[in-house]
Each structure stands twice: as C-alpha cells, then as structure tokens.
C-alpha cells in the first residue's frame, strides 16, 4: 500500500516505532540496563537499587571455630589431669566410731583432698590394704572426720559393756610412771592430801576396798608443770559413775596392779 510523502514505512509487522526507531531485541541498545535478568530501557539503574552479589563462603570460619573448641577441650582435660595429680584419696569417717572400738569397713569412706605432707592422712589405699587392722579409735570419731594417724592406737578394743572414761588427776592421785597398758585399782580417799600418793595410803595400812580393781589404762596425756595429768581408763558402765564422781571431788587415787615396764 502506498503512502504520501510523510508516510513512514516500517517492517515490524505493524509495531509502532519505539525510542526513535525499531531495534532488534537480540541487540539491545548500550543504554539499556539489566536488573534481575530483565531489560530496562533508559540508562543506568536507580541509585537505590544494588546489584545482587554472590553468597560468601563461610566454611573457613566454621572450620576455625571447630578447631578452637577442640583446643579448649584439650586444655581443659590437661588442667583437670594436673589437678587430679595433686590430690589423694583419704579415709573419711562416715559412721561414728566410739573411743576404744575397732574401725570397720562400714564406718569409713573415701574422699579426695589436696596432698599435704604435713598431715598424716590415712590414705584409702592403706585402708584397702588392711593397715587399720589391730588399731582402735583413740577418741570418739564422728562422721565427717578425716582420719589421721594420731587418732589411732594399738590398744585392745573394748569388750561389750565397757567404755573409756577420761579423768583429770592432780599430782599424787596417780602413780609415777603410769602408762598405756598398765592396770590399776581406783580408791576413794576421804582425807586425801597432796603429800600422799595412792601407794602411800596402802603402805600406811589403808584397807578400804577399791571402787574398782584391775582397770586397764587406755591413754595417758602429758603431765603439766603443776603435775596435773589426763588419764583414760577402760571401765564397765556400772563402775564409771563412781570413779568419775570420786575424781571430780578430788578423792580418787590410782594404785598399780600391774605396771608395764
């Protein structure tokens, strides 16, 4: 079809001219920008639109974090091993052991403490090896007590119905040289004076029957400068009250039945 002089012919199957003329879609204009895979005519993209970036690779950071955790765990293990190397298992009393009684396996347990060469702990290894056999409690041992050598004695364990009674005696109330293993008799003396000992009363014809005879000396303390001395005797429960009452009034004297040389 022919047109006038002002008619513009095109070959785009009737598509109107765009931007001053048709351009093949396969050859976009250099001024066309591509945003998210779409062609946008009219020059560069707006300033507030950022082109997408490739995701960062975080694997090196995760690997470094894992290595750090492994190192921290290894250091903690070494620290705990070093601390364990400075500790030792010792014997703890878990059930009361009366004075004079043997220490049985059901009355002890193990507890870890810091190694201290100045304290003579009884170690758990020693207890398991049987070193406590033949020893008895020098004093009452209460639960929670850590056992040390000074709490033990080799004196014979108490028989049923016996107990250990501690006495604080003045000079003259006990025989000179009294020691663990001796046996003594206990007398009540109404006219006791500091110039006489129990043996002096016997020598002078003192014939009052003793409160108790054949008593085993369980423990002896260190004599004070004044001559006072702590002596522990193994007594029956029946005679314990009479002996302690005589001692508290200053009327008790002890005399050797058998002295251990």
Nearest-angstrom CA–CA distance, 193 and 230: 19
Phi, psi (5° rounding) for residue 67? -65, -40
Share of the chain above pLDDT 70, in %: 63
Q: Does position 102 have pLDDT exceeding 80, yes or no? A: yes
The structural domains of the chain, with segments of one domain joined by +, span 87-153, 162-258
Give residue 144's pLDDT: 95
Q: Are 94 and 109 in contact (CB under 8 A)?
A: yes
Q: How many residues comprise the chain?
A: 261
pLDDT band at 169 (very low <50, low <70, confident <90, very high): very high
> Which CATH number does 87-153 carry?
3.90.1210.10
Nearest-angstrom CA–CA distance, 227 and 206: 24
Q: Are 178 and 220 in contact (CB under 8 A)?
A: yes
Q: What is the dihedral of CA 73, 74, 77, 78, to 10 degrees?
A: -150
Q: Are 232 and 175 in contact (CB under 8 A)?
A: no
pLDDT band at 167 (very low <50, low <70, confident <90, very high): very high
**Who has greater pLDDT, 208 or 97?**
97
Looking at the DSSP bridge assignments, the partners of residue 114 are 87
Give residue 23's pLDDT: 39
CA nearest to 199, candidates 231, 229, 175: 175
Give residue 22's pLDDT: 38
Average pLDDT in the 25-35 region? 48
pLDDT band at 147 (very low <50, low <70, confident <90, very high): very high
Average pLDDT in the 40-49 region? 56
Give residue 206's pLDDT: 65
Q: Are 101 and 161 in contact (CB under 8 A)?
A: no
Mean residue pLDDT of the chain comes to: 77
């Amino acid at each position: 079809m022919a047109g006038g002089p002002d008619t513009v012919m095109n070959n785009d199957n009737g598509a109107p001219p765009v931007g001053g003329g048709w351009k093949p879609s396969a050859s976009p204009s250099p001024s066309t920008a591509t945003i998210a895979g779409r062609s946008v005519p009219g020059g560069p993209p707006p300033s507030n639109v950022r082109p997408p970036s490739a995701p960062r690779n975080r694997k090196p950071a995760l690997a470094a974090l894992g290595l750090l955790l492994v190192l921290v765990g290894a250091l903690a293990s070494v620290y705990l091993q070093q601390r364990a190397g400075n500790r030792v298992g010792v014997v703890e009393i878990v059930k009361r052991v009366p004075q004079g009684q043997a220490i049985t396996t059901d009355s002890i347990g193990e507890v870890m403490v810091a190694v201290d060469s100045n304290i003579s702990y009884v170690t758990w290894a020693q207890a398991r090896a049987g070193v406590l056999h033949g020893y008895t409690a020098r004093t009452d041992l209460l639960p929670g007590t850590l056992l040390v050598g000074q709490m033990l004695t080799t004196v014979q364990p108490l028989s049923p119905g016996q107990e250990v009674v501690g006495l604080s005696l003045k000079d003259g109330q006990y025989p000179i040289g009294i020691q663990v293993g001796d046996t003594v008799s206990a007398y009540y003396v109404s006219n006791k004076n500091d110039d006489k000992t129990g043996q002096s009363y016997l020598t002078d014809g003192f014939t009052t029957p003793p409160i108790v005879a054949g008593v085993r000396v369980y423990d002896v303390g260190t004599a004070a400068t004044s001559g006072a001395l702590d002596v522990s005797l193994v007594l029956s429960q029946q005679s314990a009250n009479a002996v302690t009452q005589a001692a508290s009034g200053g009327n008790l004297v002890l005399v050797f039945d058998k002295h251990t040389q």
